[in-house]
Amino acid sequence: MTLQSLEFLEDAKKLVRSSTSEQIAKRVTDLVRRNDSWRNKMCVNLHAAESAISPLASAMLHSDLERRAITGEIGSRHLNGAEYCDEVEAIAIELSKKVFGCNFAELRASSTSVADGIAIHSLTNVGDTIFALEEPRGHQSWRSDGYAGMRGLRILDIPFDSDEWNVDIERLSDLVRTSPKSKLFIVGTHTFLFPHPLREISKLARESNAQVWYDGAHVLGLIAGGRFQKPLHEGANLLGGTGSKTLSGPPGGILLYDEQELDKKIKKAFSGHVASYGNSRIASLAVTLLEWIEFGASYADQIIRNAKALAKELDLEGLDVAARNKGYTESHTVILGVKGLGGGLAALEELEKANIICSAIRLLSPTEPWEGLRLGVTEMTRYGMKEPEMKQIAHCMREVLVERAEPGKVGREISELRSQFTEVGFCFSST
């Protein structure tokens, strides 16, 4: 395996030109099976946006509901056959309200980016001015390349302090005073190490009559487990999230909020963004939320303990771990600076050969070559890894990135470690 996928595009052209349908189908199924066994039996998966879904939540995902086109919403569908689906969805909505302590839950957006589009449409009018967390910390779905740009919004940057790894509240406060009135403040990031100073941000927003949207895509599981922050109790009007990532369930967007007026706007915006929405996802999410109710606090605790342990061990191994002065992290994420080690993309390539999976990030500027690595421990935690395994992983990463050891040799050690952790935990048995 290499990251150089361009040759696959050429190979695929040749394959499709010169093979029978049966041969191509065999190739596709073979590739899927090889991926299954490589990623699930041999790799240590440290991609911060990934996790392991439980067997029961996975079974719901692959039920009959997977291929139904039950559109609309409970109580106003223009089709029949939705009797069981409606009850499942009603339960999922109630569970969401219970887990996140809110009045409304919109679970139907098929991805978080789509949910972000719905949120932008519900919270702004064309041409409004908004404050949004600056890039590269702010997510592109609500910046100028995404829905905010498409809506013609004027975007003012919420400054980020890269020493503190958090919103720079003092600079934001100055900016709010000297800038045109803004309709909305958007915070939250895909590199969330520490809770945001959300009460202060919300206070600034209220002073300008603006609403606050907290993008909790990455940390929704930690919020569900009661171990990060409580955005809706700290002043956010809208908490957005993802069913996968730390929540460790099916992919899909989640919007959580308290106000009836916002509910009306979200429901109105919804129909233009999504028609059929994957009804099996909602059943799978219901199971996932029940797992958070039963096992969430201990799962979230172990995720955070593992992230801290991985960061500390990487630091002891001589790697450049972000936010050292702040205890590295209070989430599932660890950030490494790898500029001096050839950069993020080169690091990814070597780590992949050693069966270690993660992603590159831009550390300081939206235009830099990728100088950071983002690591997340959610998936390996769900498979039962703890602090001693984090130490071993950190050592393997040093061998690959610093010692330039033969990655295949390290890969064998990683696969041996991984083969001891194959059962998903913090969940019900699948019967």
Exposed/middle/buried for residue 221 (C-beta within 10 Å: 0-12, 13-18, 19+): buried
Query: Least distance in Å: CB of 86 to ligand PLP?
Result: 25
Q: Pick the binder of ligand PLP from 137, 218, 332, 374 (CB under 6 A).
A: 218
Chain-centre distance for alpha carbon 312: 23
Q: Which range of residues in 58-66, 106-114, 143-151, 315-323 is near ligand PLP by CB under 6 A?
A: 106-114
Q: Taking CB under 6 A as the rule, does residue 189 contact ligand PLP? A: yes
Which 6-35 positions form the footprint of ligand PLP (CB under 6 A)?
A: none
Which residues touch 15 (CB under 8 Å, ≥6 apart)?
Answer: 23, 24, 27
Query: Least distance in Å: CB of 144 to ligand PLP?
Result: 15
Q: Which range of residues in 25-33, 212-220, 334-342, 355-363 is near ligand PLP by CB under 6 A?
A: 212-220
Q: Report the run of H or E that residue 238 belongs to, with start and end.
A: strand 238-242
Q: Pick the binder of ligand PLP from 121, 139, 281, 308 (CB under 6 A).
A: 139
Q: Which range of residues in 184-192, 197-205, 320-328, 417-425 is near ligand PLP by CB under 6 A?
A: 184-192
Q: Pick the binder of ligand PLP from 141, 280, 329, 331 (CB under 6 A).
A: 141
How far apart are alpha carbons 40 and 32 in whole angstroms? 12
Q: Which range of residues in 62-70, 187-195, 315-323, 417-425 is near ligand PLP by CB under 6 A?
A: 187-195
Residue closer to ligand PLP, measured from CB, 188 or 296: 188
- 318 dihedral zone (left: phi>0; alpha: psi -120 to 50; beta): left
Q: Taking CB under 6 A as the rule, does residue 242 contact ligand PLP? A: yes
Which 392-411 positions form the footprint of ligand PLP (CB under 6 A)?
A: none
Exposed/middle/buried for residue 89 (C-beta within 10 Å: 0-12, 13-18, 19+): buried
Dihedral, CA atoms, 148, 376, 196, 116, nearest 10 degrees? Answer: 20
Query: Least distance in Å: CB of 404 to ligand PLP?
Result: 31
For helices 344-353 and 407-418, angle between their N-to-C axes, nearest 10 degrees: 60
Query: Least distance in Å: CB of 387 to ligand PLP?
Result: 26
| 263 contacts 123 by C-beta, under 8 angstroms | no
Query: Least distance in Å: CB of 240 to ligand PLP?
Result: 7
Which residues touch 56 (CB under 8 Å, ≥6 apart)?
Answer: 287, 427, 428, 429, 430
N-terminal to C-terminal alpha carbon distance within the chain: 36
Query: Least distance in Å: CB of 116 to ligand PLP?
Result: 6
Q: Pick the binder of ligand PLP from 112, 202, 229, 306 (CB under 6 A).
A: 112
Dihedral, CA atoms, 62, 63, 66, 71, nearest 10 degrees? Answer: -150
How far apart are alpha carbons 135 and 362 in whole angstroms? 9
Q: Which range of residues in 1-9, 99-107, 188-196, 349-357 is near ligand PLP by CB under 6 A?
A: 188-196
Q: Are strands 320-321 and 129-133 parallel, antiparallel or unpaired?
A: unpaired
One symbol per residue from 246 to 265: x for binding ligand PLP (CB under 6 A), - otherwise; what is it? -----x--------------
Residue with tokens 């069913």: 243
The amino acid occupying position 54 is S
Q: Taking CB under 6 A as the rule, does residue 215 contact ligand PLP? A: yes
Q: Taking CB under 6 A as the rule, does residue 49 contact ligand PLP? A: yes
Query: Least distance in Å: CB of 140 to ligand PLP?
Result: 8
Q: Taking CB under 6 A as the rule, does residue 51 contact ligand PLP? A: no
| 167 contacts 198 by C-beta, under 8 angstroms | no
Q: Taking CB under 6 A as the rule, does residue 110 contact ligand PLP? A: no
The site that binds ligand PLP (CB under 6 A) totals a number of residues, namely 15
Q: Taking CB under 6 A as the rule, does residue 143 contact ligand PLP? A: no
The amino acid occupying position 199 is R
Residue closer to ligand PLP, measured from CB, 132 or 311: 132
Q: Pick the binder of ligand PLP from 40, 113, 144, 415 (CB under 6 A).
A: 113
Task: Give exposure, 228-251, as e/b (b: 16+ Cβ within 10 Å).
Answer: bbebbebbbbbbbbbbbbbbbbbb
Looking from the CA of 408 toward its CB, the CA atoms found within 13 Å total 2
Q: Pick the binder of ligand PLP from 111, 162, 179, 392 (CB under 6 A).
A: 111
* Positions that interact with ligand PLP (CB under 6 A): 49, 111-113, 116, 139, 141, 188-190, 215, 217-218, 242, 251
